[in-house]
Amino acid sequence: MSKRIEVLKTYKIYIGGQFPRTESGRTYIAYSPKGEQLANVCLSSRKDVRDAVGSARSAFGGWSARAAFNRGQILYRIAEMLEGRKAQFIDELVKQGSSKASAETEVNRSIDRLIYYSGWCDKYQQIFSSVNPVASSHFNFSALEPMGVVTIVAPQNTSLIGLVSVMAPVIAGGNSCVILASENKPLCAVTFAEVLNSSDLPGGVVNILTGKVAELLPFLADHMDVNAIFYGENDAANKKLIREKASLNVKRTVIYESKNWVEEKNESPYFINDFQEVKTTWHPIENIGGAKAGY
Partner 1 sequence: MIAKLTIPDFTSTARIDQVGVEERASRFTKRSLKNETKLNGLKLALNMIDLTTLEGKDTEGKIKQLCYKAAHLHDAYPGLPTVAAVCVYPSMVAVAKKALGNSGIKVASVATAFPSGQSTRDVKLRDTKYAISQGADEIDMVISRGKFHQGEYNFVFDEIAAIKEACGTARLKVILETGELGTYDKVRKASDIAMYAGADFIKTSTGKISPAATMPVTLVMLEAIRDFYYKTGKKIAMKPAGGISKAKLALHYLVMLNEVLGEDWMNNEWFRFGASSLANDILMQLEKQRSGVYQSGDYFSVD
Residues near partner 1 (CB under 8 A): 49-50, 53, 219, 222-225, 248-249
* Shortest spacing between CB 57 and partner 1, in angstroms: 8
- Toward partner 1, which CB reaches closer, 106 or 222? 222
Task: Indicate the DSSP class of residue 35.
Answer: S
Choose between 222 and 274: whose C-beta lies nearer to partner 1: 222
Backbone angles phi, psi at 163, to 5 degrees: -60, -45
Q: Work out how close the CB of 219 gets to partner 1 at its nearest, in angstroms, rounded to a whole number.
A: 7
> Cα–chain-centroid distance for residue 53?
13
Please, what is the minimum distance in Å from the beta carbon of residue 46 to partner 1? 8
Q: Which is nearer to partner 1, 214 or 248 (CB)?
A: 248
Q: What element of type H or E holds 167?
A: helix 161-172
Contact (Cβ atoms closer than 8 angstroms) between residue 152 and residue 166: yes
How far is CA 135 from each of CA 125, 201, 235, 295, rounded to the nearest angstrom? 25, 44, 46, 9
CB within 8 A of 4, min separation 6: which ones? none
Q: Which is nearer to partner 1, 98 or 151 (CB)?
A: 151
Q: Decide whether 49 or 78 has the Cβ nearer to partner 1.
A: 49
Q: Which residues face 28 on adjacent strands?
A: 41
In the complex, the smallest distance separating the C-beta of residue 248 from partner 1, rounded to whole angstroms, is: 6
Residue 248 or 293 having the CB closest to partner 1: 248
Q: How far apart are CA 176 and CA 231, in angstroms?
A: 16
DSSP letters, 212-226, are: -HHHHHHHHHH-TT-
Nearer to partner 1, 27 or 58 (CB): 58
CA distance 259 to 233: 8
Question: Could you tell me the smallest distance in angstroms from the CB atom of residue 65 to partner 1?
Answer: 18
* Minimum separation from the CB atom of position 147 to partner 1 (A): 13
Alpha carbons 141 and 96: distance in angstroms, whole number: 49
- Rounded Cα–Cα distance for residues 285 and 57 (Å): 37
Minimal distance, residue 37 CB to partner 1, in Å? 33
Query: How many other CB atoms are there within 10 angstroms of residue 53's CB atom?
Result: 23
